[in-house]
Amino acid sequence: MSYKDRKVITIGVVSELTGLSERQIRYYEERKLIFPERSKGGTRKYSFDDVEKLVDIANKMEDGMQTFEIRREMKKKSGLREKMLRGQLNAAFKMRK
């Protein structure tokens, strides 16, 4: 696991890094745009990838996009990434036969 994927950053630090309020960050979580982990005590923990994603979300919101449009775009990108990986695995598997 890359350091960028580790969920170790608290919401306060994420707020400072992104310039977003904690309320905005929680709102993006409610809208299923970001998925923090929770510590045993219930504290939200974010990764550096999450921080980058939050900045991207905020920029899109500033440009006038709605949260449902951003979520749809994120799902498309995720689906394309999945298809590419599946294709690469299939190609590698077929080459080994």
pLDDT digits (tens, 9 = 90+) for 43-88: 999 999 999 999 999 999 999 999 999 999 988 887 776 777 777 7
Both tokens of 93, joined, read 């598997």
Strand partners for 44: 38
Task: Tell me if 34 sits within 8 A of 28, measured CB to CB.
Answer: yes
Domains and CATH numbers, the chain: 3-96 (1.10.1660.10)
Length of the chain: 97
Whole-angstrom Cα distance, residue 77 to residue 24? Answer: 23
> In 3-state terms, what secondary structure has residue 2?
coil
pTM recorded for the entire structure? 0.76
Whole-angstrom Cα distance, residue 56 to residue 75? Answer: 15
pLDDT digits (tens, 9 = 90+) for 4-35: 889 999 999 999 999 999 999 999 999 999 99
Cα 8–Cα 83–Cα 53 angle in degrees, nearest 5: 30
